[in-house]
């Protein structure tokens, strides 16, 4: 199985600020994914990050709010911009090594005051 790490593991931020979450995987992968997990709700895909191209965002998520970088095959960042309390959530990065196997990082627990 894949080993995925995220930084920070948790943070408390003020409204209007931005936070960048880092994700590191232990092997080179083409596609990485960013998900959001809100209390009592399903994991929701924010965007797919391919190395060397612009991220692809799901409906309801935009690049200005959630800019993503993918500088190489083992690393990605997600920024949550101009935060509001509604952005309080767990943010998870993920990699898919095959059509039927997808692994997740431990998550970043974000609280916006």
Partner 1 sequence: QKEVEQDPGPLSVPEGAIVSLNCTYSNSAFQYFMWYRQYSRKGPELLMYTYSSGNKEDGRFTAQVDKSSKYISLFIRDSQPSDSATYLCAMSPYNTDKLIFGTGTRLQVFP
List of residues contacting partner 1 (CB under 8 A): 1, 4, 31, 33, 40-45, 48, 58, 92, 96, 99-107, 109
What DSSP letter does each residue of 47-77 carry, written as one string? EEEETTS--EEPTT--TTTS-EEEEETTEEE
Query: Least distance in Å: CB of 31 to partner 1?
Result: 6
- Name which of 51 and 81 has its Cβ closer to partner 1: 51
Helix (H, G, I), strand (E, B) or coil at 72: strand
Q: How many CB atoms lie within 10 A of CB 89?
A: 20
Query: Least distance in Å: CB of 109 to partner 1?
Result: 7
- Name which of 17 and 54 has its Cβ closer to partner 1: 54
- Name which of 44 and 77 has its Cβ closer to partner 1: 44
Cα gap 80→97, rounded to integer Å: 26
């Amino acid at each position: 199985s894949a080993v995925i790490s995220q930084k920070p593991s948790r943070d408390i931020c003020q409204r209007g600020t931005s936070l960048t979450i880092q994700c590191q995987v232990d092997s080179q992968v083409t596609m990485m994914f960013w998900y959001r997990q809100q209390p009592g709700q399903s994991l929701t895909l924010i965007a797919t990050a391919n190395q060397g191209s612009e991220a692809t965002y799901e409906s309801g998520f935009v690049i200005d709010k959630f800019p993503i970088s993918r500088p190489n095959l083992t690393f990605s960042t997600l920024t949550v911009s101009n935060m509001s309390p509604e952005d309080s959530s767990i943010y998870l990065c993920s990699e898919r090594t095959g059509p039927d196997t997808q692994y997740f990082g431990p998550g970043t627990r974000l609280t916006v005051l």
